[in-house]
Chains A and B, each alone.
Chain A
Amino acid sequence: MKRDWVKIVLGIYTVFIIFIFYLPLILVAILSFKSDASITFPILGFSLYWYIGPPGLVGTSGFTSGIFYDPQIGQAIINSITLGVITAVIVVPLVICAALTLRYAFKGRDLIFYLLLAGFVMPAIIIGLGANIFYKTIGITEYSIWTVLPLHIVYTMPFGLILTMARFDPLMVEYENVARVLGASGWKVFTKITFPLIRTQVISTFFFAFTLSLSEFLRSSFVIAGVGTIPTYVYNQMSVTAPTPKWFALGTLSMAISLTLLFVVAYILTRGQRRII
């Protein structure tokens, strides 16, 4: 039997790329258990200080503590997850609405399609700056995660739209018409025919929106105040003090939680032998 050398070479290459993807994360995990306050090598000793250490003075980094003693981290995590979930919950129906309409040819379809993708095309700083100017003009000066929410919606919607539209079955409209001719109501057609056909895309849209919202910084930072989300909180903290393994502890914790979640989702999605996108 002839060996598929292309497959072997590409397989090794892919494993290498995944390793590169994970290298920073592996380092983050290892360095989060350091006993001293620097985030560099060599590692002189291990401890759990950056997780459960009580507030105190450590080395030259000043007053610090483990992540469990920092109430603001808890707040930032709650803010980030709230924002991510609400963004995803709003983006999913918006994407379904848009995708279902854009299947039909009508006047102005191209223009609307491009407009809906604009959140993807606009450079981050323009969305942030624009929102800042927009809020100032209409008189909103109290920034919170709720002023960030619309930005995350317009930013994540195009990804969901692309995912959903690219996998549309051309026969979908036919199936729907058959159901309609046979007497199904509009709602019934949607719940029994349309939705099951796009279920995988809907789930992907939800998780894409959540993931993108979770790590979004460039747009949010223009219209957020206080503790904010995890990225804005960590970034603001790092710009006033030298980075310590505390942030790596936070990263490791979020990595552990999200990997668990992802495997659960991956299991659910691949159970039916479906493509995930």
Chain B
Amino acid sequence: MTEERRSEAEKRESPLITFVRKNARYFLILPPLIVVILFLVVPSLMILLLSFNKGSVTRFDPTKISIDNFIAVFSRPSTYIILRDTLGMSVLAALVTLLVAYPVAYFLSFKIQNFQLQGIITFMLVAPYWVDWSIRSISWLSILGEKGLVNYVLMSLGLIKQPLSELLFTRWTLLIIWVQTNLLFMIFPIYLSLTLIDPDLINVARTLGASPFKAFTKITFRLSLPGVVIGIIFVFISTLGDYVTPALWAGGLQMLGLTVQNYAWHFNWPMAAAYSVLLLAVTLGVIWIVLRFANIKQVFYK
């Protein structure tokens, strides 16, 4: 009875309304999609367009298209040095962060059964991020500076006579700060993918005679790869796009993000846009390579 009534009502509807009603659950995607297209896709396309202009224009002028910016970018030897340093430092930061973060994530997910304790440790790791970024940034001056904690302690103990001046403003300072600031975003995805592993898989492997080390490398680590890959991508992106930490602490090391910011600072928007396109290409290239190692989608689509 109700079935008949429903089908009659359906016949009277206009096709458009039928389409909307039948696909209603897919229309929920529109609000987030529109926000992303408007504030991410459109601005990126504007950067791309502007990179084909010249001079001090601030908005795209279709009458003055040229590829001079890109010729300038690729003909400079400095571009290749910048690329090498940027990629080198980002890769190093990602790998060191992974090495530091993995044991913490492993400990959290496998060695602590008490959810309350898990929660407390997680929140202890999150809490420092609530202290302002710029304040955390200058605090390094108090730690590694000429009159900072490290030098102060070493001199008090009589281990050194003169303060070590090379603690600050080298690429190693940059590395330490990057690892410390990105650690949480490496720990979280790995922890997440480790908690999704069925412990029986490891138990079975152990029962069948695999050593703990072999069980770890063959099962645990492989199954946590999606988390590892997400963490690595995060560190890559946050370090590739960072233009302040290198400027403050790297002692004149030129980076891609810094180069973009320098041009923007001097109102050469088209050159800034051209270097941005290069930066985006590098970023996407790196992500593409990293994604070869794991199927990220399987974590999300079930």
Chain A bound to chain B:
yes
* Stretch of B3-11, B75-83, B123-131, B197-205 that contacts chain A: B123-131
Cβ contacts A1-39/B at 8 Å (1 or 0 each) = 000101100110110011011111101100100000011
The reply to whether B135 and A122 contact each other, CB–CB distance below 8 Å, is no
Of the candidates B121, B138, B195, the one whose C-beta lies within 8 Å of that of A14 is B121
Distance in angstroms between the alpha carbons of A129 and B262 in the assembled complex:
12
Contact A234 B132 (CB under 8 A): yes
The yes or no answer to A85 lying at the interface (CB within 8 A) is: no
Q: Smallest Cβ distance from B82 to chain A, in angstroms?
A: 14
Docked Cα-Cα span, A248 to B107, in Å, equals 32
Option from B44, B111, B132, B237 in Cβ contact (under 8 Å) with A251:
B132
| Cross-chain pair count, CB within 8 angstroms | 306
Contact A17 to B46, CB < 8 A, known contacts A154-B40, A275-B118? no
Contact B283 A25 (CB under 8 A): no
The A-contacting residues of B in range 236-259, CB under 8 angstroms, are 237-238, 240-244, 257
Is B234 in contact with A41, judged by CB distance below 8 angstroms?
A: no
Q: Does the CB pair B300–A150 fall under 8 Å? A: no
Interface range on chain B (Cβ under 8 Å from partner): 35 or more
What DSSP secondary structure best describes chain B's contact surface? helix
Which residues from chain B contact A115 at a C-beta distance below 8 Å?
Answer: 33, 36-37, 40-41
CB pair A137 B60 closer than 8 Å: yes
* Interface pair B133/A231, CB less than 8 Å apart: yes
Docked pose: A24 CA to B244 CA in angstroms: 18
Q: Which of B107, B119, B145, B240 contacts A270 (CB 8 A)?
A: B119
Q: Report whether A251 and B136 are in contact in the complex, using a CB–CB cutoff of 8 Å.
A: yes
Q: List CB contacts (< 8 Å) of B136-189 with chain A.
A: 136, 138-143, 145-149, 151-152, 180, 183, 188-189
Instruction: Give the complex CA separation of A162 and B39 in angstroms.
Output: 20
The answer to whether the Cβ of A191 comes within 8 Å of any Cβ in the partner chain is no
Contact B138 A243 (CB under 8 A): yes
Known contacts A123-B237, A129-B276, A134-B46; A101/B29 CB under 8 A:
yes
Residue contacts A-B, CB under 8 angstroms, 26 given: A22-B128, A31-B142, A38-B147, A40-B146, A97-B30, A100-B25, A103-B302, A112-B33, A121-B284, A123-B283, A126-B260, A129-B47, A133-B46, A137-B59, A162-B300, A165-B299, A165-B300, A215-B131, A230-B134, A238-B138, A251-B132, A254-B131, A266-B119, A270-B115, A270-B116, A275-B195
Residues of B within 8 A of A (CB): 24-26, 28-33, 35-44, 46-47, 50, 58-60, 100, 103-104, 106-108, 111, 115-116, 118-136, 138-143, 145-149, 151-152, 180, 183, 188-189, 191-192, 195-196, 212, 230, 233-234, 237-238, 240-244, 257, 260-261, 264, 269, 272-273, 276, 279-280, 283-284, 287, 297, 299-302
In the A-B complex, list the 10 residue pairs whose CB atoms are closest, starting with the nearest: A123-B241, A130-B43, A258-B130, A40-B147, A124-B241, A251-B135, A10-B107, A41-B152, A270-B119, A134-B43
